[in-house]
Amino acid sequence: MRNLIAIAFVMSTCVAFAQIVPTASGYNEDVVWSQVFTQGPAGKVNRGIVDSAGDCVAVSMPEDLARVTKVNGENGVLVWTVTINNRVGFGICEIPGDGHADYIVSGGAQNSQERWLTRLHGLTGEVMWDQVYSYPGGGGQYDGLRTVMVGSDGFLYASGFVQGDESDTIFVVYAGSSVVMKVDPVNGDVVWSSVNNASEYALATIQGPNGDLYSGGVMYDEGLSLTRRSLDGTVLSTAVLPNTESVIPYDLATGSDGQIYYGGHSPRQGAGFPYDYTCISLDVEGTIEWRYDYANPRGYSLNHIRNELYGLEAGTDGIYMFGGSGDESGYSATLPPFPSSDVWVGWVLHVDFEGEIVASDVFDHAGVNSATEYGALIEGGYVIFNDTDAGGDTEVGMIKILNGSNSTPNSCAEDLDLDGVVGISDVLLVLGEFGCASSCFGDIDGDGLVNVADVLQMIAAFGSECS
């Protein structure tokens, strides 16, 4: 179903694209828990994950510090938070530990900002190893590792840049060269380091179905790029994506079919220097299959609203874009039930694999600035990681949402509480929403309503075990 309005506009490159505007957005719907964590220094949240045990872990960057916050995924209660001095934290991933999850944090170290990785014990947050990787360079040149992932061989693959022109920022920096490193997770030792001068930044790396590595990159005056490497670090190709000069890149994801999705945001003309979410679907050769720009989830003036995409995830039922939406131009309008336009909200946009809008939802903490910096998919929904002014300034916020999205194909639609069985609690959830006609969690047959048909379907499935 195409739940959108398309508005044509022309980019400075004279290539016409379409703004796609949701016809409606939910506001703080289907929230399981919402928490703000002020235990530790405040600073911008950069990335977050939900680990294999269901716990939520975020990395943030107070000044000259890297902060990692772990939260119980069931109830949102703080497990631990650690702060690492003279570091800047950009990315995080899970690595199997001794019967539990450990975490790898990526970023930069020291005043010269060298590339940095550390491994944290999952139960305590204790540093297990800490490695700084230097690279030749002069004053005003900085290095960093923006993201890190675990390959099919169990090794770490970290992506970033060397000899860039700016430090202490998660945003793309230019004037350097992209780098991907293969690292032993046991001790942090480098297996190989691959620098590519045909791209100024490697913002993320995914592994394709053929086993090769694909890194999203950018050249300042040419646009986005896709670099392919073999598992020994050899650069096989770098393809520049046409008509992407204005896109500010931010994340890369891959679907189960091997398709690659590139996310960022693009500027357009307007009084408030507005931006739109940009999502690009491409194959492993770098051929673009579609590109769409999305804007304005709350219905405010397109002339003012900035929509900045910071994270991208491919789920079982489509692509999920995570970011923030707000204005900074003095426009300051209000359209209930949403907060004022100059209050930044988290915007989660779910599209299908053809780019058509499935759902649009905005979230905040206590009605104050709460831009979403990343999101992680879970069975039946997602967790978002926010910068929020609730409880202070740029504090760590997390919200868990269960709305029935991103469900595995063989799971039961009737298992609303996702406990693996259709039971009394599921029946009560449907009965509690009986008569609902909009954004209904208990709409198990997908007709937009909770009615007798849903109740009968639930009764028929009662007692079923679900995988």
The residues with which 384 forms a beta bridge, in sequence order, are 375, 399
Give the neighbor-by-neighbor strand order of the sheet with 190-196.
Answer: 142-150, 156-164, 177-183, 190-196
Taking alpha carbons only, the member of 398, 395, 402 closest to residue 418 is: 402
Contacts with 169 (C-beta within 8 Å, 6 or more apart), sequence order: none
The residues with which 144 forms a beta bridge, in sequence order, are 161
Helix (H/G/I), strand (E/B), else coil: 459: helix
- CATH 1.10.1330.10 maps onto the chain at 410-467
List the CATH code of the domain at 410-467. Answer: 1.10.1330.10
d(CA 14, CA 420): 52
The residues with which 371 forms a beta bridge, in sequence order, are 387
The residues with which 28 forms a beta bridge, in sequence order, are none
Provide the pLDDT for residue 17: 58
Provide the pLDDT for residue 418: 76
The owner of tokens 């995988």 is: 467
Q: How many residues does the chain have?
A: 467
**What DSSP line would sit under 365-399, residue for residue?**
BTTB-EEEEEEEEETEEEEEEEEE-TTSSSEEEEE
d(CA 355, CA 216): 19
d(CA 131, CA 259): 33
Name the CA dihedral angle for 409, 410, 414, 419, rounded to a multiple of 10 degrees: -110
Q: Are 366 and 28 in contact (CB under 8 A)?
A: no
Residue 361 exposure: Cα atoms within 13 Å on the Cβ side: 26
Which CATH fold would you assign to the domain 16-405? Methylamine Dehydrogenase; Chain H (2.130.10)
Structure tokens at 400: 């868990």
Helix (H/G/I), strand (E/B), else coil: 3: coil
The owner of tokens 């739109």 is: 276
Provide the pLDDT for residue 138: 73
- CATH 2.130.10.10 maps onto the chain at 16-405
d(CA 258, CA 235): 19
Q: Are 370 and 385 in contact (CB under 8 A)?
A: no
Helix (H/G/I), strand (E/B), else coil: 275: strand
Provide the pLDDT for residue 357: 96
Predicted TM-score (pTM) of this structure: 0.85
Residue 461 exposure: Cα atoms within 13 Å on the Cβ side: 24
Structure tokens at 325: 């939406």
Per-residue pLDDT of the chain (467 residues; tens, 9 = 90+): 233 333 333 333 334 457 899 999 999 999 999 999 998 888 899 999 999 999 999 999 999 999 999 999 999 999 999 999 999 999 999 999 999 999 999 999 988 899 999 999 999 999 999 999 999 877 778 899 999 999 999 999 999 999 888 887 877 788 889 999 999 999 999 999 999 999 999 999 999 888 999 999 998 888 999 999 999 999 999 999 999 999 999 999 998 888 999 999 999 888 878 999 999 999 988 899 999 999 999 999 999 999 999 999 999 999 999 999 999 888 889 999 999 999 999 999 999 999 999 999 999 999 999 999 999 999 999 999 999 998 778 899 999 999 999 987 666 888 887 778 899 988 988 998 899 886 677 888 878 789 999 899 999 889 888 86
Q: Percentages helix, strand, coil for the chain, rounded to the nearest 5?
A: 5, 50, 45
Taking alpha carbons only, the member of 236, 270, 272, 243 closest to residue 262 is: 243
Provide the pLDDT for residue 384: 98
